[in-house]
Structure 1
């Protein structure tokens, strides 16, 4: 697969990027979906690269680099989830992306939910990987502990290297500026307002997005399904990218089909 085309996105004083892999050669475009990937807090498109590459083998695929993260300039104000959703819509408009499957990871799942609330009908399906923040563990101390356990015991060296390097690029000021936004967003309430089918996807060893939490969200969605990837932690899209890509394709091809992994 060729490297994605990269273009800057400017919206209301914010700057980000969109990485675009256009329709694969030989595709007629009539049945293949379009995928859009959104990263989580402190990170960037880089830990989505493996999944992006696999999805782009058969469909148009885009990864969004949010303002303030990766190498993007830091905004001069705190951004709300509504601000991020507005930026995402502007990025998709600039790239000429129509109806699409929106795929978020960690904080990116909150952004996906908010974008789907703001513009019903634009997103044909949502895939929420490692959704946050568990309402029963909504403290910074508990989230930090769960993330540390995940990094120490359930992630690969390459995923830890990518995430830690991106945390360094993001810097503590911007991370801590946006952390309260993530902690306060009521995913468990907002998900009920999303009219698109939703797949809740987690690694079976994910200490951040627990099985009970993901099942709770799936039960509150208008049309929710749950799937686990065995043996993976929170950064499942990097450590088990092939299984994640297949789970997404299966969900998109047959929404409503039972996908839940055995307990």
Structure 2
């Protein structure tokens, strides 16, 4: 992986960091970046050794959204371009959302358009005070993509989502945290250390159980109470068959810390 690749992939033990790497273009998403993100998401999803995934941006921005200069160059072919771009991007988002391991987003700067959705996608979203959030689609005469219309109502409610989408304010990091768009805001001096501690804790936790929890949360809004209760019953029974569950229960009874990494390695 070269430093000029559109996406940098850094492996640190069981943690994979995905770094959007078009800093001169504000990490705007073009075909190459969208495809690279899709391929990386599939690889993380399929690799049993990966226990936590981190998504962030290089440079001063998190992600400016779609590459508007690319849109302008497409001319009358823009519908085809947008379909190709969203095919890769949406595949990446779906796999990052549905993989078994947790996703942490570190929003190091402004997030706009599809970058807004990528920032919100993390199970835990950490932001720097330099981060800001704007949808920006209306300025381009476009409707949202990247899962924005699915994510926002679930995070902040339909009424607030409607207001944000139609009025399109630029939200500072503190306001985004107050609304529930991000989990926490840390100053530049502590963000990296706080993120590292969280990532280490998550990577050593019950990753398979978190994967099942993620699946249940994704399905909650489209299910009746009874069908979701049945899904919970089946999922917890499935979890109970795992080595991870045996380790967690034994550790609790024996009053010792759980070693989920060794239990996973041992099957």
Shorter-chain TM-score category? 0.3 to 0.5
TM (normalized to structure 1)? 0.35
> Higher strand fraction: Structure 1 or Structure 2?
1
> Higher helix fraction: Structure 1 or Structure 2?
2
Higher radius of gyration, 1 or 2: 2
TM (normalized to structure 2)? 0.34
